[in-house]
Amino acid sequence: MEGREGWPPRGGVGESGVEEEGDQFERLPDEVLLDVFGRIGDVKALGRCALVSRRFHALVPLVDSVFVRVDCVISDDPAPSSAGSTQAAAEGGPPTARGRGALAHLARLVLGGIVRPIQALGQILSPASATVSRRSAAAPPTAPPPTAGDVSHHSPSEVLRSFKELRRLRIELPTGELGIEDGVLLKWKADFGSTLGSCVILGASSVSSKPPPPHATPPSTAADSSAASPDSSREPDELGNIPESLYTNGGLKLRVVWTISSLIAASARHYLLQPIIADHSTLESLDLTDADGQGVLTMDKRQLQELRVRPVSASGNSHRTLMPALSMRLWYAPHIELPGGQLLKGATLVAIRPSEDVLREGGGVEVAGQTGASWILDAFEEPYRTAAQVLLKRRTYSLEMNSF
């Protein structure tokens, strides 16, 4: 016998066929493989790919589009001094002369409720405190991206350090920072350079589905559209004043809390992204989202470059970016029926921009240069884009807030 039973003979068809066929991936040019890796995107999957071969090991760090899903949150009890310093920061920057004491008190309440989530966010994004691996030695600079088993135990800064040509980055946190009750809607989107560029907040005190009337035919698209877009001729009668319930039932206080909370969450995310931006000079687009769909922070190429040139100003001793003086526009509707029968009660839209930008450009907060008010609608996907469109037709209320 030429070999053991069941083994192909040496030099047989099976062995020679493999040798003749070779590795088909070796025939693909680097550009094709990089395009495939870029379409994969997920940093865990790319970590696995880097272990396949030496060629993959060398190509994976050249991928220019990466998605990092943070699925491990390490939270510690906050130090009293940290909470105290954050509270002091709120006291030092009252939003406006009118109602200064009340809004400062609200800021303290809000800050007290989200101090721990922001500290957990810092532990996720900060390379100094997010590592829970007990390995004493750090990976050398030439090492491939961490493998799938290690990704959850490192901060995004460490995971991304091996990528040398990164242009587009998206990071997803496991949850939003703001704890809200079931049935309450709160979404925000903010863009930053070295400081806040703009922020849009959409909230509703409750979200429910309208039950279909008995023996009724399914509503058509046209009917839904008319329900979501009320006749503009009715608006002066409906919106001469904000409904009294907005004051008597604590609705106005709730919306102030939504606004301050969203701004603080956005500024905390922005502050903690600095190490990633500093490590990747090729970065052109950065999105920081969360799995709950609560908030989105975006930075484009111009804003990223602005941050590299002009350092971030921190707010006191807190780990968040200092907010400039802000001009805000608020729109409110007691209820909105969206396409599909979804009902928003106490629907509120808030558009925020730095007061300095508004004064320089003119035209109001909702008009941002040549883009007009489209930046407000573009902040949300359907059906919430329709809700924002409806609210923009309502009466506008102006608010001002000092730097904090």
Mean of the per-residue pLDDT values of the chain: 73
Give percent of the chain with pLDDT exceeding 90.
39
Angle, CA of 89, 130 and 311, to the nearest 5°: 50
Of 206, 222, 202, the residue nearest 335 (C-alpha)? 206
How many angstroms separate the CA atoms of 87 and 341, rounded?
42
293: how many CB neighbours lie within 10 A of its CB?
11
- pLDDT tens digits, residue range 296-353? 999 999 999 999 998 888 877 788 999 999 999 999 999 899 888 889 999 999 999 9
The CA-based angle 60-62-65, given to 5 degrees, is 90
The pLDDT tens digits for 344-376 are 999 999 999 999 998 888 766 555 444 567 899
Instruction: With a cut of 60, say whether residue 132 has pLDDT above it.
Output: no
Q: Give residue 156's pLDDT.
A: 80
Q: How far apart are CA 177 and CA 160, in angstroms?
A: 23
> Do residues 39 and 64 make contact, with C-beta atoms less than 8 angstroms apart?
no
Q: Is the pLDDT of residue 257 over 50?
A: yes
SS3 content of the chain, % helix, strand, coil (to 5): 40, 20, 40
Q: What residues does 42 pair with on adjacent strands?
A: 67
Instruction: Find the angle CA(257)-CA(259)-CA(264) to the nearest 5 degrees.
Output: 95
Task: Using the predicted structure, report yes or no on whether residue 66 has a pLDDT greater than 70.
Answer: yes
Residue 365 neighbours by CB under 8 Å, 6+ apart: 327, 328, 329, 351, 352, 353, 358, 398
Distance CA 195, CA 186 (A): 22
What does the alpha-carbon distance between residue 270 and residue 299 come to, in Å, rounded to a whole number?
9
- Residue reference for tokens 């004051």: 247
Q: Tell me what pLDDT residue 365 has.
A: 57
| Peptide bond between residue 354 and the one before it cis (omega within 30 degrees of 0) | no
Q: Please give the average per-residue pLDDT across 154-173, as a whole number.
A: 88
Q: Which residue has the higher pLDDT, 219 or 309?
A: 309
Instruction: Say how far apart CA 365 and CA 357 lie, in whole Å.
Output: 9
How far apart CA 197 and CA 287 sit, in angstroms, is: 14
Q: For residues 165 and 31, is the Cβ–Cβ distance under 8 A?
A: no
In the chain, where are the structural domains located? 25-72+157-177, 178-211+243-401
Tell me the H-state helices in 60-218: 80-92, 100-125, 148-151, 156-160
Question: Can you give the pLDDT at residue 317?
Answer: 77
